[in-house]
Each structure stands twice: as C-alpha cells, then as structure tokens.
Amino acid sequence: MDFFTQQDRARRNTRYLVVLFGLALALIVILVNALVTAFLWVGRDYNIYAGGSGWEGYLALFSWERFGVIGLAVLSTVGFVSLVRWLQLASGGKAVAESLGGRRVLRQSADPYEKRCLNIVEELSLAANMPVPALYVLPDERGINAFAAGVNPADAVVAVTRGAALQLNRNELQGVVAHEFSHILNGDMRLGIRLASLLKGITFIGDVGHFLLRMGAYGVGRSNRRSESSAALPIVGLGLMVIGWLGSLAAGFIKAAISRQKEYLADASAVQFTRDNSGIADALKVIGGFVPGSLVHSARAPEMSHIFFGEVRHRLWEGFATHPPLEQRIRRLDKDWDGQYLQRAEVRYGTEPLSENDVQTGVGRAALVAAAMASAGLADSEGTRDQASSDATFSTDEDVADSRIRDESDADALPQTLHDSVLEPLGATAMALTLVTAQRESQPLEAALAVLRSKGARGQLELVTDLLPQVRGLHPGQRFPLMATAMPALKSLSTPQYREFKTTLLSVIQSDGRIDLFEWCLFQLLRHYLDPEFLRVENSRPRYRHIAKVRAPLRQVLSVLAHQGEGDSARAFALACEELGLSGLTLAPLEECSVAEFSRGVHTLADCYPLLKPRILKAMALAAADDGEVCPVERELVIAVAAVMDCPLPPEFALG
C-alpha cells in the first residue's frame, strides 16, 4: 500500500470539497431572495404595483438592488455567527474537550488505564517532534472513540473515551492516538473548527426562521386584529426554517465528505508514524465487534462529529456519515482481512488490572518509533520515498526491539531519572534552566547561577545544581525531546509563575552577554508552545505571497543552517535554493551569520502565506540531510523555525 500517494490524493480532494461550501452559501442567498420576492408577490398591494400575476408578476418584483442587499445581509449574518463560534472554539483544544464532557488527566492520576494513555501520548509526541499535548478522558462514554482539538499544535489536546482506554490494548490504543496526532500535524484541527463554525452560521438561518414562526404564533394568540404582515410572519419563518434546513443539509453533506477524506489521510499517516498497520486496524475491528461501537452520547457530539476517530451517531443515510465505513477503512489498512470483527468482552474498571509493564512509561518505545521515522525520512530525502513506502514491512514490538539492539544505541532513550524529574512544574522549570547553563563553564556558568541567587529561587538553584552533571551527560539530540516531555508540567503553571519563569530564563540566557543558537532555539520553542496558555498572543499576519519577496531572510536562514552540518555548506545551500526555485543567491560567510540576523530572518519568514511555509521547511530539511545525517544542531534549528513559523514539520524530517 502506497500511503504517501493516498495522503496526496486525500489532500487534493479536500481542496475541491471546500469550494462546495461557498456554493452552498450562494444557494442560500438565492433561496432567501426567492422567499422575500414571493412574500412581496403574495401581498395585495405589491400585486397591484407589479401590474400582473403569475410568473410575470413574480419576476417583475425582482430587483438586483434588493438581491444585493439581501445577499449582503445573509452573508453578514452567517459570517458574524460563524466568527462568534470560531472565537469560542479557537480559544484552544481545552475548551472543546471540556464542552464535550472531558476531564484532564494529570500525571498524578492513580488510574492505570489513564497512565497508560498518558505514556502513549508522550511516546508519540517524541516521535512526532512536538510537545506533549494535554490528555483528556470522556469518563461517561462507553463507546470506543477519541479526538484531537485545537487550532495549532501549541494549544492541541488529545481526548479518549473511557471505552477506548478500557477496551483497547496498548498497540491498538497507540494506533488510535497516532491517528489523532496525524490530525494535529496535518492541520486538520483548524479545518475542523472552521467547518463547525461555518455550519453554525448556516444553521442560524433556520434558527431565525424558528424564532419568527414562534413570534407569529404568539402574535396570533395575543391579538385578534393582527395585520397582514404579522399574519405572514409565520410563513416567512417557515420559509427560513426550510432554507436553513436545506443549507444545513448541504453543509452537513459537504462536511461529511471532507471529514471522510481526512480520516483516510489520518489512517495512512498513523501507519507512517508507528510503522505498524496492525494497531489501528485492530482498533477498528474491535469497534466493529463492540456493542456500543464508537457512539458518543454528549449533547455537543453531533456538532463536532467530524473531529472524532469514529462515527458518533448512527446514520440513516451513509451520505451524511462523517467517517468512511469501517469495512473500507480496515481493508485499506489490512488487505488480507477476513471480514471478521474482533469480539471482546467489555472490560469494567478494576476487574482486570493492567500489568506493571503495560503501565510503564514508553520512552524507549518512543525512541524506536522515532528511529523508524528517521530512517524513512532519510530514504525520502534521497529520492526513494515511493520505494520505501511500497517495500515497508510492518513489524511487531519485538521486531522493532530487535532492530533497536542491532542499529541504535541505548543512549537514544531518555534517562529515566531525568524523564521523571520533568513531570512536575518545579522540575520542568529547573530542567529548562539547566539545559541553558549546562553548556557553560567557569565564569559564564557562575553568572547564570548568580541570576538564580538574585531571583531568590533557592529551590530552583538547588535543583539546577543537582541536575547539571546528568544533563551534561546527555546526547545533544536528547535535549529537545526532554523539553517536549516537560511541556504538560510547564502548562500547569499559574500565569504569575509562568511570567516569572520566562523572565528568569531570559535573564539566565543573557547573563553571559551573548545568545547562541541552542539558547535561541530553546527559548523560541518554549515561547511558542507556552505563551498561548498564559498570555494574549498576536499571531503573525500573512504578508509575503511569493518566495522572491523573502530572498534576503531566506539567504540568512539557509546560510546559518548550511554552516551547521558536517558536509559541504555550499552544496547544502544550493540544494535548498534549488528546491525553492531561487537563483542567484550565494551562501553568506560564517562571520555574517549572527544569531540576531538569523532571528530577524525567521520572524520575517513567519509572515509568509501558509502555502509557502511548508516549502521553506522542506527546503531546510533537504539542506540538513544533504550529508546523509541530520546533526542535533540542524534538527533543533528546523524544529525551532517550524515553531516560530507556526507550521508542522515536513514528513521527510523526523526526530532520530
């Protein structure tokens, strides 16, 4: 199965389907105009004014001026309601999860099933090059389901139903969570919120009609001498209800079609993440053989049905299903499926406790997944992407473990003591400070510790001192994964605590009078993923539509990246320029590649239009892999630039 071809096809079809929403909105404008004209036509005075009856009299009342006014009113109403709904949903994945009855799972949870889910989310975060999103559980839902919500990876959350946590084994649950991570990295969450917002705007027309219908009925009951206009109010209300129903029917059909394409894409991407098709395929088979299936009973579930892993309601007609049929999804993942679902007795909490090994954190497993992704990414960069995907075999955990022993060093896994130290806020903040100070010796180190003393942060100072020897023993490639693991604890800080932490970190970075690339990358990564939790953030605005408009900042950024590798800097720079279609650019000398200029260049690139950003990151990934190996500094640069640009990393670039 060529998963990459399937992903490209799904993306292309989705673009076509989005256009249909605009057509549905245009149809609503036409229908509302037809309704208003009909209302005028049936009025006695307007019939006399028209000078005719039948179609001639009806058409005589048509006015382009009125058509424009009504069209503007309809579009403004739909736009305003959609904007209000967008602002509600765009406040972060937390708001969506809580509106659906979700409860946040904390690291201190004593529930072994919740701890297992936390560990899986952590593993896949490391493999996907992104900070660990908050995990929510829907405690009252027996059905097997899950969803990811948020506008971007910075405010994303992953949620699972209680049924999914209990009924699925570790491999199956990992496939489901990988599916949701695919939605995060493919940008599906933003599209899902837009669809929900627009659908609310369209259905609002029907709500207005319902209101007018009730007002007309109320007027009839209160007055025996009502005017003809008030008598016609229920008719207008009924007409608007019908139009709203037709609009929501069209919008629901298009939403379902878009969602189905995204589900195929996420299924394929989940296999790409885990390098194993059995997990997600078996999870779908369990849903098919489970009596509650994937049903979700939350009142808001139908509105957000397109963000879930499985169908949340029974559908009378498959055309309105937001997910493809289970059979089709399974056969795309497992072509040898015998058509039999997995029958599994329902697990009740506390009746079958998990083994200690099943609950243990899977940092080592995350390294295995990351290593598999890295090898796939390297093959892609060498032009063998299609061959790699078609020849890939899907391994069991034992197979992957064996390859890990053969091909990778045990140093790839995070030390357990350091991993555990960042699971609570004080340890997480101390780790960020330690990563900065661990690069220093003698006077620069003393200057950093002096900042902590001056801040009165005695507890942090002691932790930093204790952590220094262990952090200095880390492989450079382990620094960012460690901070990714610390993100949930950092997000649990209060706003004053976060402000103080950010100020202290910046003071420590600046204490030696200079900022190196790692310090810049670390600070930008933390700022990007944490600021939206505590501060009002002003997002970048698209300003540059063409690559030619950002030649100067691209030269600076690509030059800095090219100088970090161990291969030929000029060749890496030229490869990136060729990918972007740039000619005439020359590699900047190393002495001109300052961190300040690099920072300004990256923030300028953040103002590019959305379609340009993936191209730029892909070019950076190709330059980084030019010598056949992505060094830790190159990896950190690309990850930090992707964070500042608010753009997912290219699939060719993986954390190895």
Q: Which residues are catalytic?
A: 180
Return d(Cα 620, Cα 643) in angstroms, integer.
14
104 sits in which H/E element = strand 103-104
Three-state DSSP state, 80 = helix
Angle between helices 3-42 and 64-89 (to 10 degrees): 130
CA atoms within a 13 Å half-sphere pointing along the CA-CB vector of 598: 27
Residues in Cβ contact with 507 at an 8 Å cutoff, skipping those fewer than 6 apart: 451, 455
Q: Which two tokens stand for residue 608?
A: 């590019």
Is residue 153 within 8 A of residue 130, CB to CB? The reply is yes
Q: 63, exposed or middle or buried, with CB in 10 Å at 0-12, 13-18, 19+?
A: middle
Per DSSP, what are the bridge partners of residue 138? 161
Is residue 249 within 8 A of residue 277, CB to CB? The reply is no
Which amino acid appears at position 182 of this protein? S
Query: By C-alpha distance, which of 205, 274, 289, 192 is closest to 241?
Result: 205
From residue 384, how far is each of 223, 378, 441 by CA, in Å?
78, 9, 44
Is residue 259 within 8 A of residue 17, CB to CB? The reply is no
Query: By C-alpha distance, which of 436, 631, 430 is closest to 523?
Result: 436
Residues in Cβ contact with 465 at an 8 Å cutoff, skipping those fewer than 6 apart: 449
From residue 308, how far is each of 271, 330, 620 by CA, in Å?
18, 17, 33
147 sits in which H/E element = strand 146-149
Q: CA-based angle 455:461:463, to the nearest 5?
A: 145
DSSP 150-219: -SSGGG-EEEEEHHHHHHS-HHHHHHHHHHHHHHHHTTHHHHHHHHHHHHHHHHHHHHHHHHHHHHHHHH
DSSP 2-66: -HHHHHHHHHHHHHHHHHHHHHHHHHHHHHHHHHHHHHHHHSHHHHHHHT--HHHHHHHT--HHH
Return d(Cα 533, Cα 503) in angstroms, integer.
16
Residue 122 DSSP label = H
